[in-house]
Amino acid sequence: MAAGYSGTKKQKLNNSSGIQCDGSAVIQNGIIRKSLIVHPEMGFFCFDVLYCQLHQLDPPKSPKFCNDAFPLFVTWEIGKDNQLRGCVGTFNAMQLHAGLREYAEISAFKDPRFNPISRDELPSLHVTISVLHHFEHAMDYLDWEVGVHGIRIEFHDERGSKRTATFLPEVAKEQGWDHTHTIDSLFHKGGFKGSVTQDMRRNAKVTRYQSESVSVSYQEYMHHCQSSLQ
């Protein structure tokens, strides 16, 4: 389990280079150009899970979307400025039905950086589902494209302990970071306290990956629920 956009626990990587999930991927020059993995129904399902938990209702039934296995992250944000409210995921490939059910709850209630989401916050929430795929070992810390690839690094901290950290593909672009700033931020996210040196950057083991994401607001979720009743 990795909290937020970084994690400190070594995870098993899914090395699949082809995607089959209610559609197919088109890979051009190593970059996924089109696929049909994610769907708004995944966001509606995460809201179902959260709503039932907050209102002490029976868990929702299994959804009807694709149930293939992928690494995934669930991110909750709140308000018009989309402040992070919880983000936890896994690099272990999980079947989407069980994975989204589990991490919708974990990211809402067990992200160690935040208090559990409350019922009062529900109307202001947005959820983003990120399905990760196409993992590749980068040649070095510069061998990835900002806005396309997510990055996961492995390194040893001051005590010689192995640490890992990750940023999803959108993070560097949203923050306006270049490759070096992104890698240095990952070292700090992973628990390194000192100044990052060029030797550390060169020696870090870097894995790049891609993701598909879909975002749903509470208002869209409610509209979906109302439409389903008609």
Q: Work out the pLDDT band at 21, boundaries 50, 70, 90.
A: low
Per-residue pLDDT, 4:
54
CA atoms within 13 A on the CB side of 76: 31
Query: How many C-beta atoms lie closer than 10 Å to residue 105's C-beta?
Result: 21
Per-residue pLDDT, 81:
92
Q: Work out the pLDDT band at 3, boundaries 50, 70, 90.
A: low
Q: Is 87 exposed, middle or buried (0-12, 13-18, 19+ CB in 10 A)?
A: buried
d(CA 210, CA 199): 26
Per-residue pLDDT, 32:
43
Per-residue pLDDT tens over the stretch 93-136: 999 999 999 999 999 999 999 999 999 999 999 999 999 999 99
Q: How far, CA to CA in Å, does 215 sit from each of 42, 137, 180, 186?
A: 9, 28, 29, 24
Query: How many C-beta atoms lie closer than 10 Å to residue 207's C-beta?
Result: 20
Contacts of 212 by beta carbon, 8 Å cutoff, 6+ apart = 32, 35, 37, 38, 130, 131, 133
